[in-house]
């Protein structure tokens, strides 16, 4: 099993380019179910979650080929050979539920295992099911599977979410694109990855208005064509890489993603005393102050502070001069990195959904264990800033969402290596 070794205390300097957005690609790939024509997706990162979605789609009948570059996938679902998304695949990743809406829209039936993934909260799929029922689907939960069917086509409907769910918004946009009539999604999620999904759908012939707002209108069409689409850059990876020079010092340019997607995050970095210069699809981060100021963070749906950057921001707060507060409003169990940061010398108290962090000036290298995707990278950031050596185990969590992270950091001067320990 792979581990990562970090020798901390090195200032960083250079340029890095983020990979394509994992969360965008995990929605774009199931789009192929909606059409018998091929879809080419560019800027696809090499990640274990992408591999899992690939495995799932192949099991349903998709033909998936890597093109001249491994970052380009051709996904062709000429016909559906199976309507069953098996537990053995779905258990690995919660995004697997995104095949449910497209299967129902194209085939009128689907059997999808209840999904698994990171242990950061329940993340129930009830909003997905609520919306599909509104569109005329009959649903039955039995033996850990969602059995779904519809007579004829799904019907357009007005669906108001009790809270903004990215996955449910994506699933219902895809389903509504082939439904009969018009669907209106109220209190829809506004994330850039949803806009990216809609852009691809529109290029396939879908009729969608309002993406990027809380009200999305989809007028169903009879069929969709293929598409060639470039996935946007990964804003969470950009934020993560920005935190590295912010914590250890130096100057790094991070390219490949629109910094406008990170406005709330950038505001907090500036508050902490970090110098930020934004450009078109790039941002330059420079640590000028000798100390970091404390910050108070509340995670919210986009355009608020991303929950996927909370763990990384906590690592920075551990170095600040004073007391910071981080309140998690999206997932109820997203502080599993706290005990590991404490092993490195952090002072953190957790009460309910709020973590109070008292800055310690510097961290100490230690053996630590990743518990989920974003927790794993928070430990790597802490290791970069720590005195001594940090060994991070269970880095398979990291490989779900970060492509070649250690290589990108080492190119800027970090002393970080991956090794295998049998």
If asked whether residues 262 and 151 sit together in one domain, one would say no
Which of the listed residues 178, 201, 230 is the one where a domain comes to its end?
Answer: 230
Residue 296 banded pLDDT, cuts 50, 70, 90: very high
Q: Are 96 and 88 in contact (CB under 8 A)?
A: no
Average pLDDT over the chain reads 93
In the chain, count H helices and then E strands. Answer: 13, 24
**Could you say which of 118, 198, 318, 412 is catalytic?**
118
136: left (phi over 0), alpha (psi -120 to 50) or beta: left
If asked whether residues 244 and 388 sit together in one domain, one would say yes
Which of the listed residues 230, 261, 289 is the one where a domain comes to its end?
Answer: 230
Distance CA 321, CA 219 (A): 53
Q: Are 393 and 420 in contact (CB under 8 A)?
A: no
Helix, strand, coil proportions of the chain in percent (round to 5)? Answer: 35, 30, 35
The b-or-e profile of 48-58 (16+ CB within 10 A means b, else e) is ebbebbbbbbb
If asked whether residues 13 and 37 sit together in one domain, one would say no
pLDDT at 273: 95
If asked whether residues 220 and 273 sit together in one domain, one would say no
Tens of pLDDT, residue by residue over 254-288, are 999 999 999 999 999 999 999 999 999 999 999 97
If asked whether residues 182 and 263 sit together in one domain, one would say no
Distance CA 371, CA 296 (A): 24
Which of the listed residues 230, 258, 291 is the one where a domain comes to its end?
Answer: 230
Distance CA 353, CA 130 (A): 27
Q: Which domain holds residue 80?
A: 22-230
If asked whether residues 162 and 225 sit together in one domain, one would say yes
If asked whether residues 63 and 168 sit together in one domain, one would say yes
Closest CA to 374 of 335, 330, 410, 417: 335
The HSE-up count of residue 61 (CA atoms within 13 Å, CB side) is 17
If asked whether residues 255 and 374 sit together in one domain, one would say yes
pLDDT at 124: 63
Q: Considering the chain, what percentage of its residues have pLDDT values greater than 90?
A: 85
- Give the helix ranges, DSSP H, for 204-325: 235-248, 263-271, 310-317
If asked whether residues 208 and 242 sit together in one domain, one would say no
If asked whether residues 68 and 212 sit together in one domain, one would say yes
Q: How many CB atoms lie within 10 A of CB 194?
A: 23
- DSSP type of residue 155: B
Place of tokens 């409907």: 157
Residue 119 banded pLDDT, cuts 50, 70, 90: very low
pLDDT at 122: 45
Tens of pLDDT, residue by residue over 163-218, are 899 999 999 999 999 999 999 999 999 999 999 999 999 999 999 999 999 999 99
- Give the helix ranges, DSSP H, for 17-157: 22-28, 48-60, 87-90, 100-107, 126-134
Q: Is 25 a catalytic residue?
A: no
Q: How many CB atoms lie within 10 A of CB 144?
A: 10
The structure tokens listed for 350 are 């957790």
Radius of gyration, CA atoms only, the chain: 22
If asked whether residues 13 and 59 sit together in one domain, one would say no
| CATH number for 51 | 3.65.10.10
pLDDT at 361: 81
Tens of pLDDT, residue by residue over 121-158, are 444 688 999 999 999 999 998 888 899 999 999 999 99
SS3 (DSSP) at 411? coil
- DSSP type of residue 133: H
Distance CA 85, CA 59 (A): 8
Q: Are 111 and 142 in contact (CB under 8 A)?
A: no
If asked whether residues 224 and 276 sit together in one domain, one would say no
Count up the domains in the chain and report the number. 2
Closest CA to 386 of 416, 408, 410, 357: 416
Mean pLDDT computed over 5-27: 96
pLDDT at 115: 73
Tens of pLDDT, residue by residue over 368-380, are 999 888 889 999 9
In this predicted structure, the answer to whether residue 387 has a pLDDT above a threshold of 50 is yes
Q: Which residues contact 4 (CB under 8 A, 6 or more apart)?
A: 380, 383, 391, 392, 395, 398, 406, 416, 417, 418, 419
SS3 (DSSP) at 239? helix
Mean pLDDT computed over 218-234: 97
Tens of pLDDT, residue by residue over 76-90, are 999 999 999 988 888
pLDDT at 372: 86
C-alpha distances out from residue 88 to 60, 91, 112, 117, 216, Å: 13, 6, 11, 12, 34
Mean pLDDT computed over 13-32: 97
The structure tokens listed for 246 are 């912010």
9: left (phi over 0), alpha (psi -120 to 50) or beta: left
């Amino acid at each position: 099993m792979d581990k990562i070794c970090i020798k901390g205390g090195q200032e960083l300097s250079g340029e890095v380019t983020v990979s394509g957005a994992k969360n965008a690609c995990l929605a774009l790939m199931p789009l192929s179910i909606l059409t018998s024509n091929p879809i080419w997706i560019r800027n696809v990162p090499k990640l274990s979650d992408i591999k899992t979605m690939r495995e799932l789609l192949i099991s349903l009948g998709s033909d998936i080929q890597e093109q001249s570059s491994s970052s380009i996938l051709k996904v062709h679902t000429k016909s559906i050979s199976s309507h069953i998304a098996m537990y053995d695949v779905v258990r690995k990743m919660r995004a697997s539920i995104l095949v449910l809406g497209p299967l129902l829209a194209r085939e009128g039936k689907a059997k999808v295992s209840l999904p698994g993934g990171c242990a950061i909260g329940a993340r129930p799929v009830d909003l997905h099911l609520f919306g599909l029922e509104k569109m005329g689907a009959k649903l039955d939960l039995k033996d850990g599977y969602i059995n779904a069917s519809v007579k004829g086509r799904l019907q357009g409907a007005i669906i108001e979410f009790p809270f903004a769910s990215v996955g449910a918004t994506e699933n219902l946009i895809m389903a509504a694109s082939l439904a009969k009539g018009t669907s209106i999604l109220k209190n829809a999620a506004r994330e850039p990855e949803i806009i990216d999904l809609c852009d691809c759908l529109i290029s396939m012939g879908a009729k969608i208005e309002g993406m990027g707002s809380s009200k999305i209108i989809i007028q169903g069409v009879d069929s969709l064509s293929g598409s060639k689409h470039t996935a946007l850059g990964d804003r969470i990876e950009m934020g993560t890489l920005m935190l590295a020079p912010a914590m250890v010092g130096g100057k790094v340019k991070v390219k490949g993603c629109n910094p406008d997607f990170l406005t709330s995050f950038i505001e907090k970095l500036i508050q902490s005393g970090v110098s930020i210069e934004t450009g078109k699809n790039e941002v330059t981060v420079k640590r000028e102050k000798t100390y970091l100021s404390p910050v108070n963070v509340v995670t919210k749906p986009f355009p608020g502070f991303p929950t996927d950057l909370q763990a990384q921001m906590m690592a920075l707060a551990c170095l600040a001069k004073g007391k910071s507060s981080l309140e998690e409003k999206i997932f109820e169990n997203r502080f599993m990195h706290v005990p590991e940061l404490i092993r490195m010398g952090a002072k953190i108290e957790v009460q309910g959904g709020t973590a109070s962090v008292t800055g310690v000036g510097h961290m100490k290298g230690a053996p630590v264990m990743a518990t989920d995707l974003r927790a794993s990278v928070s430990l790597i950031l802490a290791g970069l800033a720590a005195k001594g050596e940090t060994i991070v185990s269970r880095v398979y969590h990291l490989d779900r969402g970060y492509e070649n992270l250690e290589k990108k950091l080492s190119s800027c001067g970090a002393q970080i290596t991956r090794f295998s320990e049998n």
